[in-house]
Amino acid sequence: MPKSAIATAQLDSYSKNINGIRKQHENISHRTTNPLYVQTRPGKKGMNFDFVDEGYMRQVLNDEFPEWSWEIIQYELVGDDSVAVHGRLLIVDNNISRSFDAVAAHGRSGDLGNDMKSANTEAFKLACNRLCNISDDVYRKSVLSQKQLDDVDSLIPQLKPSMQEKIKEAVATHGINPSNYEISMETLQALITTKEKENG
């Protein structure tokens, strides 16, 4: 086979793999995480934040990316306050090896083993989300498609001015995302109908 034909075949294979990656990650990103695996804990400034069970993320990894590994690159004691871990998630993604390095810290509790384990878990979950799009709905990393953005933009001018800014902020902060897009659109339509009745 001529070199040009081999190069073309390799390029076609690579393009097919890249398209496969895009489709698979979009599908994972748009899934709703089962609420049974979502927990809440207190955060800074009195705000709560959601997080996902590590076992759930491992299961999705096993299902979607059967060839994966997690390597701890380094543990580090950060002063007297916390333990930090640097880890690397490696996956085979549609025949392409991909990796993501994550760093996370956990406050010192007096039990160094548990602190190291907790920091490792946080780094692992961070890598799962960033590299594989697992639980984007919970970590608010899932973004609307261009068509979805255009649809939302077309409705914003029909809302009350005070509501327009709230919707723009909800899109910017991923409050409106693919996992709740349909119900968000229904809510916007209802608000527009209410405004029209008030003005009519």
Q: Which of 162, 134, 167 is nearest to 53 (CA)?
A: 134
What is the model's pLDDT at position 117?
92
What is the model's pLDDT at position 17?
78
C-alpha 161/C-alpha 165 separation (Å) is: 7
C-alpha 33/C-alpha 26 separation (Å) is: 14
pTM > 0.85: no
**Which domains are delineated in the chain?**
13-139 (3.30.390.80), 146-199 (no CATH)
> Tokens representing 154?
């077309």
What is the model's pLDDT at position 65?
95
Tens of pLDDT, residue by residue, the chain (200 residues): 555 554 455 555 556 778 888 889 888 988 889 989 988 877 555 656 678 999 999 999 999 999 999 999 998 888 778 889 999 999 999 888 999 999 988 888 878 888 899 999 999 999 999 999 999 888 876 667 788 888 888 988 888 887 888 888 877 766 777 767 788 888 888 888 877 877 76
What is the model's pLDDT at position 58?
95
